[in-house]
């Protein structure tokens, strides 16, 4: 990369980037010209996985620095942000990938502590990073935020209620930020990936023919694009895996009037047909449409 091109290279913080999807995202972003803060927690007595990924990036001619914080640690969000600014003087995009599955159990066997533990990593740690990084992402003039969600947050999943709740909260946060930050030129999108990783090993091993093509590397180009200045998507949810991507969207269909208890079954049956299904650019637009149609 030339000196002039390097001065224009975007700076991206990627969390949970020591392995799996995050590692693939970091390597692809760096190969594509970005300068990357590679975050991954360092476990006691183990070598730094963030350092290992940075070494891979530098061996390929890229530029990166390592951060070993657990995203849940006090001050971790500020440290990552400071690292980007100290190394390159700017921060253009954040890819919030760090997450945990939490315990596998029916809801009746889950504890409140299990919910709090998963939410601490999958939601509140991401919230802290957003609060620390957003002023600098806005200042870049073409800031981008990529929140790594999950289809579990869209549809639910048996035996993983804490995980589904945390990802649903993250999706709601991302959609809200997409409205609030639009005028600041910041694009905010949610990526819901399917990939064979340590976290999904049990699921993917049951379908080896599918798991073979669902590599983290097959999702990485989309993450790089969503973090790029050229990306014009905002407030969108993208489900991706195996080199295939499609958009997910909240929809509301035409409704039906009910006035008494006896009217409710027929009204619900009409609603299930989802005739005239429409998506809305925010809760305000949804309510305005609902109020207009419901008043007829």
Q: What is the pLDDT of residue 255?
A: 85
The pLDDT assigned to 202 comes to 63
Q: Which residue has the higher pLDDT, 203 or 253?
A: 253
Pairing, β 144-148 against β 63-67: unpaired
What pLDDT, on the 0 to 100 scale, is given for residue 3? 36
pLDDT tens across 155-187, in order? 998 999 999 999 999 999 999 999 999 999 999
Contact between 173 and 145 (Cβ < 8 Å): no
Torsion sign, CA atoms 87, 88, 89, 95 = negative
Q: Tell me, what's the pLDDT at 198?
A: 57
Strand partners, 35: 11, 63
Q: Which one-letter DSSP state was computed for residue 120?
A: I
Return the CATH architecture of domain 3-248: 3-Layer(aba) Sandwich (3.40)
Share of the chain above pLDDT 70, in %: 92
Is 163 noted as a catalytic residue in this protein? yes
Half-sphere exposure of 278 (CA within 13 A, CB side): 14
Q: List pLDDT tens digits, range 19-67.
A: 999 999 999 999 999 999 999 998 877 889 999 999 999 999 999 999 9
- Which range (11-25, 135-149, 273-287) has the least confidence? 273-287
- Order of all β-strands in the sheet with 187-193: 63-67, 35-39, 11-14, 93-96, 144-148, 187-193, 237-241, 244-248
Q: What is the pLDDT of residues 103-159, one digit of tens each?
A: 899 999 999 999 999 999 999 999 999 999 999 999 999 999 999 999 999 999 899
pLDDT attached to residue 7: 41
Position 138 scores a pLDDT of: 98
Task: In whole angstroms, give the CA distance from residue 171 to residue 91.
Answer: 23
Q: Residue 191 above 60 pLDDT? A: yes
Greatest Cα pair distance in the chain: 73
Average model confidence (pLDDT) across the chain: 90
What's the whole-number mean pLDDT along residues 78-103?
96
* DSSP H helical ranges for 122-263: 125-139, 151-155, 161-180, 201-205, 208-211, 220-226
The pTM assigned to this predicted structure is 0.89
* Alpha-carbon gap, residue 68 to 176, rounded angstroms: 30
Q: Provide CATH 3.40.50.720 ranges for the chain.
A: 3-248
Does residue 200 carry a pLDDT above 70?
no
How high is the pLDDT of residue 189? 98
Q: What are the residues facing 245 on neighbouring strands?
A: 240
The two three-digit tokens of residue 190, written as one number: 């949610």
- Give the highest mean pLDDT range of 231-235, 260-264, 270-274: 231-235
Cα separation of the two ends of the chain: 62
pLDDT confidence of residue 295: 60
Share of the chain above pLDDT 90, in %: 69
Quote the strand ranges of the chain, DSSP E.
Answer: 11-14, 35-39, 63-67, 93-96, 144-148, 187-193, 237-241, 244-248
What average pLDDT does range 191-208 have in this prediction?
Answer: 70
- Rounded CA-CA distance 178/189 in Å is 7
């Amino acid at each position: 990369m030339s000196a002039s091109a390097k001065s224009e290279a975007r700076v991206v913080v990627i969390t949970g980037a020591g392995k799996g999807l995050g590692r693939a995202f970091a390597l692809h972003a760096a190969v594509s010209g970005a300068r990357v803060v590679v975050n991954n927690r360092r476990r006691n007595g183990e070598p730094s996985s963030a350092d290992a990924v940075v070494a891979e990036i530098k061996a390929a001619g890229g530029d990166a620095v390592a951060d070993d914080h657990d995203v849940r640690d006090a001050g971790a969000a500020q440290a990552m942000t400071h690292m980007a600014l100290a190394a390159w003087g700017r921060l253009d995009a954040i890819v919030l990938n760090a997450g945990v599955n939490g315990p596998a159990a029916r809801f009746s066997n889950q504890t409140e502590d299990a919910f709090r533990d998963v939410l601490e990593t999958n939601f509140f740690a991401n919230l802290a990073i957003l609060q620390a990084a957003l002023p600098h992402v806005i200042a870049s003039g073409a800031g981008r935020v990529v929140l790594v969600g999950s289809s579990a947050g869209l549809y639910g999943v048996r035996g993983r209620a804490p995980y589904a709740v945390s990802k649903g909260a993250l999706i709601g946060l991302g959609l809200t930020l997409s409205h609030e930050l639009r005028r600041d030129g910041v694009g905010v999108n949610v990526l819901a990936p399917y990939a064979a990783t340590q976290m999904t090993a049990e699921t993917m091993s049951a379908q080896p023919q599918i798991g073979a093509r669902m590599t983290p590397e097959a999702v990485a180009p989309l993450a790089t694009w969503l973090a790029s200045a050229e990306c014009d998507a905002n407030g969108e949810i993208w489900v991706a895996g195996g080199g295939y991507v499609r958009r997910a969207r909240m929809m509301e269909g035409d409704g039906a009037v009910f006035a008494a208890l006896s009217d409710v079954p027929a009204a619900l049956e009409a609603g299930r047909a989802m005739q005239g299904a429409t998506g809305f650019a925010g809760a305000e637009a949804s309510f305005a449409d609902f109020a207009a149609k419901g008043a007829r």
